[in-house]
Structure 1
Amino acid sequence: MGLSNLGIFHTVIGILAIVAALVSFINFGKISLSKLSGKIYFYATVITSLTALGFTKHGAFNPGHIFSLFIVVLVVIAFILHLKKKGNTKARYFENFLLSFSFFLSLVPTVNETLTRVPLGHPLAKDPTAPIIQQVLLVFFLLFIAGSVFQFIKQRKLNRGLSETN
């Protein structure tokens, strides 16, 4: 596998981000920045994305770096919405979507790197275009779509409940 110290740190923090997101999805139906799991997801995702900038296969800034910066932008915008727009408002739709989308996008390099490295010596995929990678990403994309619809419906109910009490 041959991971550098940065690679090991990046991987450990990335796994922490994924676990925190899953805990938040299971407990709250979304990545909730007001809960510990959501806060861990936010900070671990920012750290993971920024440490990814230290990796290069071609010796220069590449599309993977842009991908990492895009994920940082998504979570930072969601965090700003969380801080500036309190309560169950329309901003929650965007916050929920941005966090879920950042999670899905984080899974793209995770799946690629994992399936092209594991099991050691005989990885499941030879490169990112391997059918198994495409299939796994398709399943994750469908879960992302279903989860986004679920979050939208749940948030709409919360927003309607709020407007009925006012």
Structure 2
Amino acid sequence: MSHSLSPLGIGHTLISLIPLAAGLYSFARHRGIDRNTRSGKTYLAGLILSVLTSFGLSSTGGINAGHVLGVLALLAACAGVFIHRMPILARLHPYLSAFLFSFSFFLLGVPGIGETLRRLPPAHPLAANLQSPILLGTLASWFALFVLGTALQAGWIWSRRKTRV
């Protein structure tokens, strides 16, 4: 069953492509999202706009899991921005920041994957519902990619810090 998108839904979808593209660019170029780079700032601005525009959308008529994931993504990104101001665990700041930004990117992708698989192709979507095997498998792969990516980031941060000492 195909669901059409409202004008706000189309706008939200287009806005959501901004943090997706900026995040992917950041991972490819900088090995992670860095709040001090142009792509990192673009990611953060796009994330905020994406989450804010999601609140005008709801197939259930109220707050749904996508909204909650969006708020969690914002909280993770905010923590990633401000973690360096916490004197506790100063040596872990680069690792925690990388994890938090990656976690926000992961969370941003979860509703996007669900909506995409349940809407495309329009005539016969790949996933019929949230329990669809293709949707669950794709989300499991997305989670595995997140775990692998954060492990690689931690290894890169560790090796970079080790060479500076």
Structure 1 and Structure 2 fold alike (TM over 0.5): yes
8 A contact 1:50–1:69 mirrored in 2: no
Task: Report the CA distance between 1:89 and its aligned residue.
Answer: 4.4
Task: Report the CA distance between 1:122 and its aligned residue.
Answer: 0.7
Structure 1-normalised TM-score? 0.88
Where in structure 2 are the equivalents of 1:94-105 lying within 5 Å? 94-105=96-107
1:131 equivalent in structure 2 = 133
8 A contact 1:53–1:68 mirrored in 2: no
**C-alpha RMSD of the superposition:** 1.8
8 A contact 1:75–1:99 mirrored in 2: yes
Q: Secondary structure at the match of 1:121?
A: coil
| Structure 1 unaligned blocks of 5 or more | none
Structure 2-normalised TM-score? 0.89
The Cα offsets for residues 20-64 of structure 1, whole Å up to 9 and x where unpaired, read as 111111111111222111111111011111211222222222333
8 A contact 2:117–2:127 mirrored in 1: yes
User: How far apart, CA to CA, are the structure 2 residues paired with 1:123 and 1:13?
Assistant: 22
* Higher relative contact order (CA closer than 8 Å, sequence separation 6+): 2
The Cα offsets for residues 84-123 of structure 1, whole Å up to 9 and x where unpaired, read as 47xx942111110011111111111111100111111111
1:64 equivalent in structure 2 = 66
Question: How many pairs align?
Answer: 160
User: How far apart, CA to CA, are the structure 2 residues paired with 1:146 and 1:158?
Assistant: 18
2:93 equivalent in structure 1 = 91
The Cα offsets for residues 107-162 of structure 1, whole Å up to 9 and x where unpaired, read as 11111100111111111110121111111111111111111111111111233334
| Structure 2 unaligned blocks of 5 or more | none
Matched, 1:152 2:154: yes
1:31 to 18, 30, 33: 33
Deviates more, 1:113-122 or 1:45-54: 45-54
